[in-house]
Amino acid sequence: MTTKSDAKIENATSATASAEISSAEAVKADIVKADVVVIGAGLSGLVTATLAAGAGRRVIILDQEHKDSLGGQAWWSFGGLFLVDTPEQRRLGVKDSFELAWDDWLGSANFAPGAAEGIGPDRYGYAWARSFVEAAAGDLRPWLHSLGVRWFPFVQWAERGGYLVGGHGNSVPRFHITWGTGPGLVAPFAARARELEKQGRLEFRFRHRVTELIKTDGKVTGVRAQILQDDAAIRASEEFEGRGKPSSRDIVGEVELTANAVVVASGGIGANPELARDRWNPEVGKLPARMLHGVPDSTDGAMLGIAQQAGAALVHEDRMWHYPEGIANHSPVWTKHGIRILPGPSSLWLDAEGKRLPAPLFPGFDALGALQHITKGEHDHSWFILNKTIMETEFALSGSEQNPDLTGKDIPLLAQRVLPGAVGPVAKFAKESPEFLWADTVTELAAKMNALTSATPGSSGHIDAAELAEHIRLRDEQVATGLGKDPQVVATRAARDFWVDRRIRVAPPRPITDAKDGPLLAVRLSVLTRKTLGGLWCDLSGRVLKEDGTVLDGLWAVGEAAGFGGGGVHGHRALEGTFVGGCIHTGRVTGRALTTAG
């Protein structure tokens, strides 16, 4: 069921599989026994492990990073959840239902024919998708609420789509931001894990990098792992106490663990740009040589290759979810650390040659469609064109560390979002980022855009000042009518019908060149690697399958490693809020299944 040659993933894992112990005082390998071994201490791994251990299984969680990385990528996230027909939506007058959400999912996923009938490569992805949407419209929110999770009351509208009915996008706002963002979502599961650890039912083994799955008579019965040097003391003085920073790969020992079940919860390939480029569908161009990374360096995809070497099937490897709206972090934590702009709909979006992206590829409407348009052009960047007022109203930044008010549950700080001016993190980027270009005239703006492109090795593209001025003139002319025919102008005006958008997310429709809203601003956008939509092929309980569709006994997968369920729950496109939500859902389903497995 693989989609293409796996030479790259073999390269990514061979160094791990053949690594030699570098320390003269290396610890001799020993054997440890458990009922369940979970590989990865991220959100999906925590959910799986706590449910299994809570039901009486002896569980060991392995992670190649330090204990300060507990929660994995989810800790860094905005903590947004795709939820359906919630009290938060109803209070805002949003009318949602399972049926509407499922129609939106199917329109976005574009599953292969036969999936609904249980036929073909998408059959398990389809079934997992329906299970997830049922949970999002059913007991997922009450269950999380019972664990102490709460949400920001203003539901956001991600992936607006803009296509005809039956196409991609959310019909209504469904993006529920967790109060406390990613750390707030991780917290109850981390606390439960620590409680089970004290009871002796769950054990963490950090700095353990799995290099091999052990098989006995065709069944996965354990793992071999390298013990990496503990450099936590060095990292403790760094920002976030070193969380997310590249850690030492010096090997100080080895260990073998046996288990009735091994669960892969190691994430995707977002920090492995070579692998991402190799797997990218060539029908939509190619990913550029210069990209930003939206995940820590440890998210390298190595465990997927190790599972494949043991006989697991990888499916839909060319399906990915990267963002076209990345900007380089002015204070990077990991290698090529990028931040995603969460834009409102008003900015003009131009490619590297100064051409407007076609409808409906407007800011906030179809991230993957915009990315594919850019990769077909084989440039490494695009541009937002706006002014200071639009930036202050419509720009937000993804990630827990970029939203200190929500992450810190700081109500006075949060209240500033409804006041004039940009929120603090956006204002800091506006001041410090060399990718935020300010100008008083269009000619000056174009010159700065071209200068930045010329100064960036490998970048190409040219902005013609006269053409840029014409784009802005025509857009402003449409806005001035109060109506207009331009679909972006019409969509922006319609967005303000939703109270949340009108209050904090969408600027009043005015000309970009309006002097009181200036100066003009161009923001250079780069591709930001993020998610793997394909992954290990799994049945409806999370058991990993082989190429022929039979179960690879003893091996399970959850979260991004499982394509968030079945090897491809999203199909070809995601609706947002489905990543951390997918980690929770797959962890919950598989954790419960492990309690009854032999």
Tokens 């059959």 correspond to 123
pLDDT in tens, 303-336: 999 999 999 999 999 999 999 999 999 999 899 9
Q: Is the pLDDT of residue 40 over 90?
A: yes
The separation between CA 511 and the C-alpha centre of its own chain, rounded to angstroms, equals 34
Q: Taken in order 269, 272, 277, 278, is the CA torsion positive or negative?
A: negative
> Distance between the two ends of the chain, CA-based, in angstroms?
27
Q: Is the pLDDT of residue 42 over 50?
A: yes
**Measured distance CA(494)–CA(499) in Å, rounded:** 11
**Measured distance CA(473)–CA(95) in Å, rounded:** 37
Spell out where 6-58 has E strands.
Answer: 27-39
Distances (CA, A) of 124 to 239, 296, 374: 41, 29, 31
Could you tell me which of 315, 527, 341 has the C-alpha nearest to residue 422?
Answer: 341
Amino acid at the residue 230? D
**In the beta sheet, which residues pair with residue 203?**
60
How confident is the model at residue 597, as a pLDDT?
Answer: 82
Could you tell me which of 231, 241, 244 has the C-alpha nearest to residue 333?
Answer: 244
pLDDT in tens, 427-457: 999 999 999 999 999 999 999 999 999 999 9
How confident is the model at residue 20, as a pLDDT?
Answer: 34
429 and 396 Cβ atoms separated by less than 8 Å: no
How confident is the model at residue 525, as a pLDDT?
Answer: 98
How confident is the model at residue 241, as a pLDDT?
Answer: 55
Instruction: Please report, for the chain, the start and end positions of each structural domain, with discontinuous segments joined by +.
Output: 1-266+301-319+533-598, 324-528
The pair of structure tokens assigned to 418 is 């409804």
Confidence of residue 238 (pLDDT cuts 50, 70, 90): low
**In the beta sheet, which residues pair with residue 315?**
535
How confident is the model at residue 14, as a pLDDT?
Answer: 42
How confident is the model at residue 245, as a pLDDT?
Answer: 76
Q: Is the pLDDT of residue 236 over 90?
A: no
The separation between CA 555 and the C-alpha centre of its own chain, rounded to angstroms, equals 24
Q: Which fold would CATH assign to domain 324-528?
A: Flavocytochrome C3; Chain A, domain 1 (3.90.700)
Q: Is the pLDDT of residue 492 over 90?
A: yes
Looking at residues 32-47, what average pLDDT do you find? 97
pLDDT in tens, 542-571: 999 999 999 999 999 999 999 999 999 999
Any alpha helices (H) in 171-319, and if so which ranges?
A: 181-198, 232-235, 273-279, 302-309
How confident is the model at residue 240, as a pLDDT?
Answer: 59
Q: Taken in order 538, 124, 99, 363, is the CA torsion positive or negative?
A: positive
Radius of gyration, CA atoms only, the chain: 24
> What's the mean per-residue pLDDT of the chain?
93
Q: Which fold would CATH assign to domain 1-266+301-319+533-598?
A: FAD/NAD(P)-binding domain (3.50.50)
How confident is the model at residue 5, as a pLDDT?
Answer: 37
The pair of structure tokens assigned to 324 is 């076209």
